[in-house]
Amino acid sequence: MLGLGAAGMGAGLAAGVGILSPDIATAAGLVALGGLLGGVTVASARPELELFGPCVKRGRHPGRAAITIDDGPHPISTAPMLEALARAGAHATFFVLADRVQRHPELFRAMVDGGHEIGLHGLSHHPWLTVRRPVAGAAELAAAMRILAAHGSPPIRWYRPPFGATSPRVYAAAHAAGLSLAWCSVRTLDGVPIRAETLRARCRAVVGTDIVLLHEGPGPTSALLPEILDEWHARGIAASSLSEALEGAAA
């Protein structure tokens, strides 16, 4: 209703000054409004544009690439990922979902016991904090953190919204819950079906200071992680947690 009203006002103005006929002006107004709304929609799934607020999107240490892993814990991928990281002597930041922590507490405990950083991905995997009142969103994030704490999590610093969906309400909710938004500089898109070679190529492009977004689940990521870590090591890049990657280089 608001959109049609705005389009109508724009159309009326254009027609009133004799620029366009009323019908053409209405169509032009709707096209313009659609473009505006489409741009906002795209930006809302692109946290790196920082349309609604700041987010962490690059590390600072030139010799480290932050490895961040969403959607866990998962019965297929968590154990082999932890094994690959331990073999490489590396830490990661796992952005976990509280409902999955409840289903797989032993896998979550293994993340914590392995010294990995824990970030919050949500109570469950949904984008609705983008439209909920900030007080309700903050309450949901706080509830999720209480679940993680009950299962042994250290204090949570980072929040990564599912799908990268942001809005002013997401930022307000995260701030009220004491969380900072974290995003990435390399989005591998492995959360959808992906060929192993495509994932390899995206990870070969990683450089120091990148924040790399990977996913848990049945895809090729967990099987390829040892190879990815070895390839980075050969190029002098150490995999690290997000907070470790934000440390400055040693003097």
Q: What is the pLDDT of residues 71-106, one digit of tens each?
A: 999 999 999 999 999 999 999 999 999 999 999 999
Contacts of 51 (CB under 8 A, 6+ apart): 40, 43, 44, 166
Strand partners, 158: 180
Distance separating alpha carbons of residues 142 and 177, to the nearest angstrom: 6
Strand partners, 120: 96, 159
Residue 214's nearest CA partner among 160, 167, 165, 158 is: 160
Return left, alpha or beta for 53; rule: phi > 0 is left, psi -120 to 50 is alpha, else beta. left
Tokens (6 digits) for 111: 């993340």
pLDDT for 38 equals 43
Distance separating alpha carbons of residues 19 and 25, to the nearest angstrom: 8
Question: What pairing do the DSSP bridges indicate for beta strands 211-215 and 186-187?
Answer: parallel
Mean pLDDT, residues 160-178: 97
Distance separating alpha carbons of residues 108 and 113, to the nearest angstrom: 9
For residue 238, give the H/E element and its range.
strand 238-240
Mean pLDDT, residues 61-65: 95
Mean pLDDT, residues 37-47: 56
pTM reported for the whole predicted model: 0.83
Residue 151's nearest CA partner among 91, 92, 106, 114 is: 106
Name residue 163's amino acid.
F
Per-residue confidence at 27, pLDDT binned at 50, 70, 90? low
Positive or negative CA dihedral for 156, 159, 163, 168?
positive
For residue 71, give the H/E element and its range.
strand 64-72
Residue 214's nearest CA partner among 193, 195, 239, 188 is: 188
Q: Among 9-13, 65-69, 107-111, 197-201, which stretch is predicted with the lowest mean pLDDT?
A: 9-13
For residue 73, whether the previous peptide bond is cis, meaning omega lies within 30 degrees of 0, is: yes
Distance separating alpha carbons of residues 2 and 195, to the nearest angstrom: 43
Question: 22 or 15, which is more confident?
Answer: 22
Give me the chain's average pLDDT, please: 87
